[in-house]
Amino acid sequence: MKRERLDKVLANMGLGTRKEVKALVKQGAVVVDGVVANDPGMHVVAEEQEILVDGEPLNYKRWVYVLMNKPPGVISATEDSMHETVVDLLPYEWAIKVHPVGRLDIDTEGLLLLTNDGQLSHSLLSPKKKVEKEYFARIDGRVTEEHVAAFAKGVELEDFTTLPAKLEILSSGENSEIRVTIMEGKFHQVKRMFAAFGLHVSYLQRVRMGPLHLDPSLEPGEYRELTEEELTMLQQHVKGNQ
């Protein structure tokens, strides 16, 4: 386990700035393993030691994994001067740590993973891993088996040709509903793939990333931590795709 400065641990838990948590320590408000801490720079192993702040235990977690149902109108970023971001929806102690794994367009809803585990994030986004991303979409126009075949071959766009994608037609007519699974995550990719055939995506929702599925109990804007089972599945999935 990693040893870290006490003031850094407290600040990372959202208890204040480094200056503010140093003042907390000097006031005698922090107890480590039954002893009042008097040095903000003392090194602790936060996962193993008992740390009390004003008598309340500090439940420290080094790694944070958050599953969110991203709502429309919110951007997949850690900060932005114009729009609300996905981390703005989180409690402060998570928001200061995590970043979104990949991006969903501002008007796209659905599954978004946020974490401070850079290695897992990199693996999930690496083209070499070919992690599937599955979307549900509503399309203005009729989607046909010809489109299914074209997606399966890879769609030629202006700047690149997509990898083969699985397109499933749920309903077809003046407006169609589909599921599409891609192994990339390029800018506006799903929308651009349909636009290549003169079709407009009117609604887009990501429902799966690798083995991780959108929790149907989460309303747009809601979130929860990953379960141990979900985290293990993700870790094993990227390891198996090496």
Residues designated as active site = 105
Q: Mind giving me the DSSP string for the chain?
A: ---EEHHHHHHHTTS--HHHHHHHHHTT-EEETTEE---TT-EE-TTTS-EEETTEE----S--EEEEEEPTT-BSSS--SSS-BGGGGS-HHHHTT-EESS---TT-EEEEEEES-HHHHHHHH-GGG---EEEEEEEES---HHHHHHHHH--B-SS-BPPP-EEEEEE-SSEEEEEEEES---TTHHHHHHHTTT-EEEEEEEEEETTEE--TTPPTT-EEEPPHHHHHHHHHHHHHT-
Is residue 67 left, alpha or beta, with left meaning phi > 0 and alpha meaning psi from -120 to 50?
beta
